[in-house]
C-alpha cells in the first residue's frame, strides 16, 4: 500500500458488513478491513465520501438501478415492502459464451431466474437501509443486449400523496447530472424504458402511484455497461481525482436503436 487510490470494478468491496458478505458470497472475506474502509461507489448517494475516499467499490448493475429507484422513498421512511425485478439484456451475463447466452435460447427470452434473492439484494438493502426481509430481488432476461430496467413493486407503510412523492424524488435527483425523472405524462413515458438511455451514462427514474396511495411502482432504467458499471466507476474516479464529474461521460443516448 503506497497510497494508491482505487475504484474497484469487481464485487469484492461493495458490502460493509463482513457477516453479510459471507452470507451472500459463500465464504469469509479475505480482508474484512477493506469492507469497513471502502465507500460504495454510487455518486448519487456518496458523493462527498467518494471525493475523500481511498477505496471506492464498483456497483452491481441491477443494484444500481434498484437503488436509484428506491433510495428516495426509503430515506423518506415510507416503504413497507418492495419486490424488485431487474429486466436485463444479454450483455449483463459477461463476455463469455454460455448455454444461457446461446442465441437460439436467449433470443426474445422472458426467462425469470430465482425471483427473490439475487445477490445484489445485499447491496440494495445496505444502500437503501431497507432490511433484507422486506426486499426481494429477481432477475429476468429479456431481448436486448444492453439495459437494466429495475421495477420495484412497492407497498407503502401508509397512504401518501403523489405531490409529496414528486417532491421527494426531485429533492433527491433535481441537481444530479446523470439522473432524470420521467414526466407524469404521457403515460407510456412515465415509467422508463432502458432504450431511452442506451449508450449514455444516464439513469431515468419514474414512478406511478395507485389511487389508494399505498401501492406504488417505482422504476429506474440504465445502460448496464455505462451507468450500471464502468460509467459509474469513471464518474466515481472523476470525483476522487477532482476532475469534473461528467468528464468522459457526456455521450447522449442513441435512440431509436
Q: Which residues bind a copy of itself (CB under 8 A)?
A: 83, 85, 87, 89-91, 93, 95-116, 133, 136, 138, 142-147, 149, 151, 153, 187-188, 190-191, 193-195, 198-199, 208, 210-212, 215, 217, 219, 221, 251-252, 254, 256-257
Pick the catalytic residue: 38, 61, 71, 86? 61
Most distant pair of Cα atoms in the chain: their distance: 57
Nearest partner of 62 among 104, 106, 119, judged by Cα = 119
Are 54 and 33 in contact by the 8 Å Cβ rule? The answer is no
Grid coordinates belonging to 193? 424504458
Shortest distance, position 249 Cβ to a copy of itself, whole Å: 13
β pairing state of 203-209 and 215-222: antiparallel
3-class SS at 169?
helix
3 state DSSP class of 87:
strand
Contact 33, 53 (CB under 8 A): no
| C-beta of 144 vs 235, nearer to a copy of itself | 144
CB of 99 to a copy of itself, least distance (A): 5
- Catalytic: 61? yes
8 A C-beta contact, residue 207 and residue 165: yes
* CA gap 239, 227 in Å, rounded: 15
* Torsion angle of C-alpha atoms 41, 42, 44, 46, degrees rounded to 10: -30
Task: Tell me the sheet residues that pair with 148.
Answer: 88, 222
Among 203, 229, 220, smallest CA distance to 151 is for 220
Minimum separation from the CB atom of position 129 to a copy of itself (A): 20
Catalytic machinery residues: 61
Amino acid at each position: 500500500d503506497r497510497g494508491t487510490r482505487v475504484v474497484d470494478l469487481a464485487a469484492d468491496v461493495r458490502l460493509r458488513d463482513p457477516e453479510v458478505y459471507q452470507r451472500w458470497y459463500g465464504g469469509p472475506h479475505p480482508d474484512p478491513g477493506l469492507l469497513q474502509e471502502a465507500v460504495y461507489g454510487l455518486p448519487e448517494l456518496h458523493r462527498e465520501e467518494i471525493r475523500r475516499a481511498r477505496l471506492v467499490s464498483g456497483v452491481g448493475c441491477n443494484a444500481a438501478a434498484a437503488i436509484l429507484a428506491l433510495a428516495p422513498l426509503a430515506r423518506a421512511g415510507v416503504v413497507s415492502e418492495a419486490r424488485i425485478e431487474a429486466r436485463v439484456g444479454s450483455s449483463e451475463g459477461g463476455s463469455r459464451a454460455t448455454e444461457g447466452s446461446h442465441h437460439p435460447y436467449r433470443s426474445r427470452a422472458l426467462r425469470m431466474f430465482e425471483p427473490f434473492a439475487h445477490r445484489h439484494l445485499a447491496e440494495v438493502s445496505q444502500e437503501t437501509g431497507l432490511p433484507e426481509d422486506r426486499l426481494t430481488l429477481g432477475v429476468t432476461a429479456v431481448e436486448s443486449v444492453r439495459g437494466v430496467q429495475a421495477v420495484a413493486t412497492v407497498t407503502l407503510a401508509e397512504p401518501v400523496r403523489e405531490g409529496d412523492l414528486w417532491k421527494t424524488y426531485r429533492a433527491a435527483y433535481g441537481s444530479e447530472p446523470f439522473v432524470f425523472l420521467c414526466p407524469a405524462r404521457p403515460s407510456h413515458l412515465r415509467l422508463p424504458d432502458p432504450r431511452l438511455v442506451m449508450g449514455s451514462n444516464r439513469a431515468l427514474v419514474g414512478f406511478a402511484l395507485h389511487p389508494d396511495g399505498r401501492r406504488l411502482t417505482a422504476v429506474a432504467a440504465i445502460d448496464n455497461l455505462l451507468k450500471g458499471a464502468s460509467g459509474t466507476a469513471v464518474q466515481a474516479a472523476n470525483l476522487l481525482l477532482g476532475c469534473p464529474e461528467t468528464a468522459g461521460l457526456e455521450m447522449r443516448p442513441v435512440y431509436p436503436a
